[in-house]
Amino acid sequence: MKKTLATQLDAINEYEREPVPESKLKGLKSFVGMYAGEHTAGTEFVIGPLFVVHGVSAPDLFLGLLVGNVLAVLSWAFLCAPIAVKARLTLYYQLEKICGRYLVSGYNLVNALMFCFLAGSMIAVAATAVGIPFNIEMPGLGDFYPSSVGWAVTVFLVGIVITVVAILGYEQISRFANVCAPWMILVFVAAAFAVMPQLGITSLESFWQVAQTRIWNGVPVDGFSKFTFWHVTFFAWFANMAMHIGMGDLSILRYAKKWEYGFASVAGMFVGHVMAWIASGILVAAASGEVTPGPIAYGSAGIAGAICVVIAGWTTANPTIYRAGLAIQSIVPSVRRWKVTLVVGLVTTIAALFPALVMRLLDFVALYGLVLMPMGAIIFIDFYIIPKIGLRSYYAEAVKTPFNVAAGVTWVATLVLCLSLNYFQGIDIFFLGLPGWFIAAALYIGLSKLYQQKKPKQAEIKVSANVM
């Protein structure tokens, strides 16, 4: 009997509410490909230029990228990956055990919305390249609303294609990223080298001088704040804060055979971020300050460059929509994941219609990491510290409460404190993640001591740092 498409899609088991079985674990190559593809994204074509616009000097950029990305890799390897391979649960199911169903539902809604906006910015970037051959009027980076019908139709078509691939599951996403990654990375490198003669770089020796005077000359564009080494370092470290310190990649790394696979993120940070941000900065300088991703890639690498922008947006939007689907499904577990992902994809596509998502990307990325970070701190403390001080891990599951007050207050209070520092003291959001993590950790320990007074009804704790 022929299976219907719906039956086939229903059969894709992503282990949303159970540990990933041994037979489904993946090798190192899957993660290297996934990270390299995911972090060589369409948004790199925006972040690189924004560093130029903010007047980063060349020494600050290179040193900041080195330090910040090393810290990001260490965060994946030592904070996220060890918990992922021990528990082998999605972020959302693990949070549900700690926080309770009501609290995690609220968190997941916020989380899914953030993922939708992030994926939306990637769809928008991809659309700037898709529209080139059709001569569609593209929005400028100063635009807030959709600028033309052609733009809206282009975004819609790109969004639909990306959503369909995301519906087919992690396996398909991983395969697609694996195929694209090596080619995409080479296009970034090649495009940068090809335009260097236009900037007067004719040898490797002349690169540094031109880099300091014509690319990252240390002078911000009017109306933009000046970025320093510390801005670059903290942005590079926390650009994916939601994934490593915020534990978002528990859902991906639970498929890893060993915790050391967390170091696969080096492919994303150095081959992806460092190289792509530098390359896109060079492309912007060669394009005389033009910052729209599609045209600058097309100008330096032709049709292949435009295809690269589309695919770079695609390979990042795919896993992001997948994560958003998982977040929503944990709220409505009875609904099949593919149906949830379809709705998430549509919301993402609508968000992508608004160019403001791209225009304010640095601020949005920083805020998105900050909002999700406290729950990462809670997971870390619950896994390693809580059992050692005589308290219960997975407390909500143990006492069958739908709302862990200690976790809820920790999340909200941390955000209020951090956002107050931003609002009243004027501290940039991407400097707040580090103190915010320690605030969240201390709050959760203190509040748990106060809160965990009543005896757990169910003593069984299956996973904790003590028994692993």
Partner 1 sequence: MQLILKIISYIGLLLTVVPAFLVFSGVIELSFHKTLMLIGTLLWFFTAPFWMNRQRHPEESI
> Taking the CB of residue 27, how many other CB atoms lie within 10 A of it?
12
Q: Is 196 in the site for partner 1 (CB under 8 A)?
A: yes
How far apart are alpha carbons 313 and 120 in whole angstroms? 9
Q: Toward partner 1, which CB reaches closer, 157 or 186?
A: 186
- Positive or negative, the CA dihedral 241, 96, 259, 321 is negative
Give the length of the chain: 468
Q: Toward partner 1, which CB reaches closer, 30 or 422?
A: 30
Count the site residues for partner 1 by CB under 8 A: 31
Q: Toward partner 1, which CB reaches closer, 11 or 204?
A: 204
Among 6-14, 270-278, 303-311, 415-423, the segment contacting partner 1 (CB under 8 A): 303-311
Find the Cα–Cα–Cα–Cα dihedral 265, 268, 271, 273, rounded to 10°.
-130
CB of 204 to partner 1, least distance (A): 10
DSSP string, 389-438: GT--SSHHHHHT-S--HHHHHHHHHHHHHHHHHHHHH---GGGSHHHHHH
CB of 57 to partner 1, least distance (A): 24
CB of 131 to partner 1, least distance (A): 18
Q: Which of 12, 74, 304, 434 binds partner 1 (CB under 8 A)?
A: 304
Q: Toward partner 1, which CB reaches closer, 63 or 304?
A: 304
Q: Which of 50, 61, 168, 191 binds partner 1 (CB under 8 A)?
A: 191
Q: Is 199 in the site for partner 1 (CB under 8 A)?
A: no
Q: Toward partner 1, which CB reaches closer, 119 or 306?
A: 306
Among 107-115, 218-226, 265-273, 304-312, the segment contacting partner 1 (CB under 8 A): 304-312
CA 93 to chain centre: 19
Q: Which of 133, 140, 289, 302 binds partner 1 (CB under 8 A)?
A: 302
Among 79-87, 129-137, 299-307, 407-415, the segment contacting partner 1 (CB under 8 A): 299-307
Q: Is 21 in the site for partner 1 (CB under 8 A)?
A: no
SS3 content of the chain, % helix, strand, coil (to 5): 70, 0, 30
> Taking the CB of residue 203, how many other CB atoms lie within 10 A of it?
7
Q: Is 169 helix (H, G, I), strand (E, B) or coil?
A: coil
Q: Toward partner 1, which CB reaches closer, 26 or 54?
A: 26
Q: Is 26 helix (H, G, I), strand (E, B) or coil?
A: strand
The structure tokens 């060589």 sit at: 40
The 3 state secondary structure assigned to 361-391 is HHHHHHHHHHHHHHHHHHHHHHHHCHHHHCC
CB of 69 to partner 1, least distance (A): 23
Residue type, position 7, single letter: T
Q: Toward partner 1, which CB reaches closer, 29 or 388?
A: 29
How far apart are alpha carbons 46 and 141 in whole angstroms? 10
Nearest to 96, CA basis, from 107, 88, 104? 104
Q: Which of 26, 39, 97, 254 binds partner 1 (CB under 8 A)?
A: 26
Report the Cα–Cα distance between both ends of the chain, in Å, rounded.
46
- Per-residue contact flags (x/-) with partner 1 for residues 150 to 189, judged by CB under 8 A: -------------------------x--xx--xx--xx-x
How far apart are alpha carbons 451 and 445 in whole angstroms? 10
Return the structure tokens found at 145. 């609303």
Q: Is residue 227 within 8 Å of 281, Cβ to Cβ?
A: no
How far apart are alpha carbons 247 and 374 in whole angstroms? 10
Q: Which of 301, 357, 379, 463 binds partner 1 (CB under 8 A)?
A: 301
Q: Is 385 in the site for partner 1 (CB under 8 A)?
A: no
Q: Is 415 in the site for partner 1 (CB under 8 A)?
A: no
Q: Which of 7, 8, 18, 27 binds partner 1 (CB under 8 A)?
A: 27
CB of 183 to partner 1, least distance (A): 5
Q: Is 23 in the site for partner 1 (CB under 8 A)?
A: yes
How far apart are alpha carbons 254 and 245 in whole angstroms? 15
Q: Is 89 in the site for partner 1 (CB under 8 A)?
A: no
CA 246 to chain centre: 10
Nearest to 418, CA basis, from 407, 404, 434? 434
CB of 452 to partner 1, least distance (A): 41
CB of 167 to partner 1, least distance (A): 18
CB of 308 to partner 1, least distance (A): 8
Query: Where do contacts with partner 1 occur on this chain (CB under 8 A)?
Result: 23-27, 29-30, 175, 178-179, 182-183, 186-187, 189-197, 201-202, 301-305, 307
